[in-house]
Amino acid sequence: MLNRFLKYIAIDTRSDPEADTFPSNQNQYALAKLLAGELKALGLADAAIDRNGYVLATLPANTDKDVPVIGFIAHMDTSPDACGTNISAKTHANYDGQDLLLNTTKNIVMRVADFPDLRKYTGQTLITSDGTTLLGADNKAGIAEIMAALEYLADNPRISHGTIKVAFTPDEEIGKGVDYFDVEQFGADFAYTIDGGELGELQYENFNAAHAKITIHGRNIHPGEASGKMINACLLGMELNQALPSRERPEHTTGYEGFFHLTGFRATVDHAVMEYIIRDHDHQHFDHRKAHLRHAVNRLNDNYGQGCFQLEIKDQYYNMHSKIFPVMHIVELAKKAMKALDIRPLIKPIRGGTDGSRLSYMGLPCPNIFTGGHNYHGRFEFIPLESMEKASQVIVKIIEMSAA
């Protein structure tokens, strides 16, 4: 498991939201080629990379029973929110529950006071970066866990199983992961994304999501002659942000609470561009948030002149709950598998999205299962090796129980 994971994170597959190619980072093809080769070596003879960069493979059934076709899915890209180049992974065996020194040269420390979840894993083996890059457990841990499960099944042919489908997708982190995914060709009755967080997480609810881009047209005049003439796009952008509720930001919300999140602000006096992501689990509240932003923009245009602010809002994905609820037996199957392995299922909403949320709306119900990782998208990402092993065991147990 560890060797696989370290091999995968060595390839920088950060997705690029500004790219006009798919995948957005061609290094994702390099990982795809590696994974397709490994799948073939495990006996999945049809493993291949399609023209859009998806890695697809089938483990044929070894039983005559009428067993559902189950898919397991993970994404190959990592987040563009932090550096993913030259990842230097650190393995902390028999973790002592204290602060972790990640980088002696730069004195980078992961403090228990900041990340109290660390203490849950006292005595275990933690994997981190050196604090200068992300680790890449989101979602290369999921890939490693699926691959380890397939290897276990290959080594233990006595375990009866139905047909198993595997997919590794590009560009999930920028919301494009299943833009070209062919659900019918994939051929699964249902699937699981292996893309969750801590040990035991099992999720079938996620945010409704939209992206907003606001372009602000200012007017730059020499400051000595600016009276009554200058329109400072920087200040207008700040005024727009102040028009949104300050307590409804990611740093102040939890659970089912939604938010407005300013993700980018590029500004001069003459011109500014602001980008937000808008999130809420409740669809009515989601629509209200978009309306609130439109109202704020319209009011500012009334104040400063029509066309001063231009707003584009694009929905990205929706809460999968309505698509999973009619087939809750697939969630129950995952819960039973976890309980059989003495893992307590943690049923919680995803404060984000996965490929599974979009796939569920494309006709492939797809709950989300833990990988074991914490602090995704940042320099203090970590994952316990023991949680990775448990995730792989859950995959095998789901497969085994579905054919029982």
114 as an active site residue: the answer is: no
Q: Which residues pair with 109 in a beta bridge?
A: 101
56 close to 188: Cβ distance less than 8 angstroms = no
77 as an active site residue: the answer is: yes
| Residues 6+ positions from 243 with CB-CB distance below 8 Å | 296, 299, 300
Catalytic residue among 38, 172, 173, 201: 172
Catalytic residue among 77, 130, 280, 355: 77
Q: How many residues does the chain have?
A: 404
**How far is 10 from 76, CA to CA, in rounded Å?**
12
The set of catalytic residues is 77, 172
